[in-house]
Each structure stands twice: as C-alpha cells, then as structure tokens.
Amino acid sequence: MPKKEKKLWGGRFDNNQSPLVEEYTQSVEFDFNFFQEDIQGSIAHAKMLAEIGILTPQELNLLIQGLEKIQAEIETGVFEWKKEFEDVHMNIEKRLIELVGDVGKKLHTGRSRNDQVALDFRLYVAKAVKEWQEYLRELITALVKVASKNKDTLLPGFTHLQPAQPVSLAQHLLAYAWMFKRDFERIQDALKRIEVSPLGAAALAGSAYALNPDFVAKEIGFRASFNNSMDAVSDRDFVLESLFIASVIQAHLSRLCEEIILWSNPCFGFVLLPDEFATGSSIMPQKKNPDVAEIMRGKTGRIYGNLVSLLTVVKGLPLTYNRDLQEDKEPFLDTHKTISLSLILMKEMFLKLKFQQQNMLKAIKKGFLNATELADYLVLKGVPFREAHHISGRLVKLAENKNISLEELSLEEMKKECSKIEEDVFEALDYKQAIQKRNIKGGTAPKSVEFQLNLLKEWIKKNGGSV
C-alpha cells in the first residue's frame, strides 16, 4: 500500500495522521467559502514579497497567473477539494504548486496560516456585513415608501399591549425604520475594526523578513494593519461584534414579525397577508397562517445562539492562536445566510401587506384612546392634572359601563363630573385632532412624520439608494 503524501506541515512527523483525526479536524467543508478572500490575500502577499525583493517580477506574475487559474477552476466547479489537505489554504497552495512548480512554495514566505486565516475571515466578514447594509437600506426604503402612503392612517398605539393613544401608521412604521438605520450605522462603525489587516503577524511574533503589512492592507482595501502581532492572530472581536450586530438586527426583525402576526389575526384585522407569504392548514380550510413571520421570529434564538457559541469559545483562550478558533466560521456563515434572507424576505413581504384602515379605526374607538386628550383638555381649563386624570378615568368607566366610546357620552353626563367641560370637548376628543396636536420633534403629527420621512429619504439617497 503506497504511503500517504506528507502534509505541508509534516516534516517532523514520522507517522501519518489518523483518518478519524483528519476527518474531525478538517475545516474545508465550510472554509472553502473563503476561496476568493484567500486568493485575494495571497495575491496581495505575493505583491508585497515582490516589493521587498523576495520574489522576482517573473515569479510574481507566475504566482498571480496560477492563483487566478485556481479561482477560475473553483468558480466553474472543476476544482477538487480534498479533506486530507485540511482547509481552504492548503487546498489552494497544493494546487498552486502543481500549476507553477517550486515557485508556488515561495508564496508562504513570511506568512502563517494563523495570520492567513485571520485575513481571509476579516475580508469575508467585511464583505458580508456590507451586504447586510444593502439589505437594511432596502428594507428601510420599503418602510419609508409604505409610511409615505399612510401619514393619515390611524391605529391604536400600545403600551403593555393595551390600547394607549392614537398614532399614525406612518409613525409606527418609521419607528422600525429608525431601528434598522441604527443597525446600518453599527455596521459602519464596526468596519473601522473589521477592516484591519493581520497579515505580517505570521504565527504570533511577527516576521523576521522585512515585510510591509501596510502595503498589504492598502492592496486589499483595508483601513489599517495590526499594531500587535499576538493580538492580530488571536483576535476574533470582529466576528463577535458582527454577530452581536446580527443579533440586534434579528431582534428588530422579530419585533416587526410579532406586529405582523398580531395584526394579521382577524381579532385585530389590521393587515391582510399576501398569499405568497402565508400558508394554509392541512385540516382547517379557513386558515391563513403567517408562517414566514413566525419562522423569522423563531430564527432569532438561532442567531443569539451563534453569538453565545463564539463568546464561549473565546472566553478561556490564552494568547495566541488556538485551534478552538476554527469554531468561529460556522456560526458566522449560518448567521450571514439567515440575516441576509430574513432582511430580503421582510422587505418583499412588507411591500405586499394590505393595511385595513377601517379596522384600525374601530380598534381606536374601542380602547378609549382619547382619554388622555380629555385630561389635557381639563388641564387647559385650569384643572390640576392629577384631578383631571381622575375625572377622565371616571368618565371612561361610565362609557365602559354603557358600552359606548368616550366621545359618545353626552355633554350633560360629562358636566356632572366636571362643570368646566363645555361643547368644545368633542373637538378635543377627535382622534385626528389628537394626532395633529403632537407636532413636536419625533411626534406622530403629519408635519412631524413628514420631517422624519424627509430625513430618511435624504439618508437613503446619501447611502446609495432611492425612494
């Protein structure tokens, strides 16, 4: 039986690795996703080696041609990934040596897999979170579009999931737009820390070669290179921060899903689900279930779990690189897929929701949402607020006992509780008037909502979108 080919790192080993260990420790099953980043980083590293005189121009051209050929092979599906080569790096290096000969063995000069994988992963994470930004901007744009059409649509605003005060549907939807805008900005801030090149840190102590880490950072489009070689190879804050941002995004999506689930329930009847984003029941013909929103809400735990998983991995690691860090890839890959699809689906679903204005207005009237307006009316008549609060509460109780809305009480009934109430009280109890009054910054009045819409539209355009 022929002896197995030695690993690229196998010079000091006499015996081959156990097949079970080989299977257990290989990562190529998932880190093949980073082939573009690995090739990009390798080309930048090769250019830097040529810049400092370790490679000749001819050798550099040969390496670049070989790496570009490998990329084409991978993209066309003819590249053969082998588990015995452990990871994306070794698979590509092995093939490069096959293609260009001994010059391929020079590429790893001054480089370790420790700083190589850190670079690859940073490049991948940076690209992924920028995609999240695009999806967030598109979702914000969808919210703004729907809000623009519903500045005068009224619905109950809730606290404790109980009817509180009337708000415009636009105001409600824009609350989510501002949430997702913060998520976008978190990514913008995190990129300052993600886009830092670790290449040149080598295994942990830096390199004895006169490498130029800043050259590599500039070549790959990163903002800076590392300041401490030990930190550079062991840092996974950039993944943790990205997973945290993903967790917040998914939390915001989950909250919006909860609204859609509640609103689409016929007991609320605020919204009709589009057929494309609902399912039926195998036994109950009348059912139209909000499965997309429910599954998206359910995936929140999965995203949180990925963050906690990596936090647990890094919590006890001594400096510097430890193989435990191989466990950082799969949680992020899963999160990237989940977040991306969730944001895309939410945008598509949201644009097709049909809001039921009459049902929202009926719900407002059921909940005595103008009780605060009555209290404010009495304050303007000179009644101390606490006393006005009690008077309004007693009138709510009276209307509740009569099974009518507050504005359906007669003037005489109201005056029995407070003689200062006059005919103009009915204007104060009008729901549209209640909204019009709240014209302060961030309020639900049409002018305030219009101001918010303009701010968001300007922001969307500034960040490459259109409304």
3-state per-residue secondary structure call for the chain: CCCCCCCCCHHHCCCCCCHHHHHHHCCHHHHHHHHHHHHHHHHHHHHHHHHCCCCCHHHHHHHHHHHHHHHHHHHCCCCCCCHHHCCHHHHHHHHHHHHHHHHHHHCCCCCCHHHHHHHHHHHHHHHHHHHHHHHHHHHHHHHHHHHHCCCCCEEEEEECCEEEEEEEHHHHHHHHHHHHHHHHHHHHHHHHHHCEECCCCCCCCCCCCCCCHHHHHHHHCCCEECCCHHHHHHCCHHHHHHHHHHHHHHHHHHHHHHHHHHHHCCCCCCEECCHHHCECCCCCCCCCECHHHHHHHHHHHHHHHHHHHHHHHHCCCCCCCCHHHHHHHHHHHHHHHHHHHHHHHHHHHHHCCEECHHHHHHHHHHCCCCHHHHHHHHHHCCCCHHHHHHHHHHHHHHHHHHCCCHHHCCHHHHHHHCCCCCCCHHHHCCHHHHHHHCCCCCCCCHHHHHHHHHHHHHHHHHCCCCC
Clarify whether 247 is annotated catalytic: no
Q: How far is Cα 221 from Cα 250, in angstroms, rounded to an integer? A: 29
Which of 207, 281, 392, 419 is an active site residue?
A: 281
Clarify whether 281 is annotated catalytic: yes
Q: Which residue in 110, 278, 129, 289 sits closest to 209, CA to CA?
A: 110
Which of 45, 89, 160, 389 is an active site residue?
A: 160
Give catalytic residue positions: 160, 281
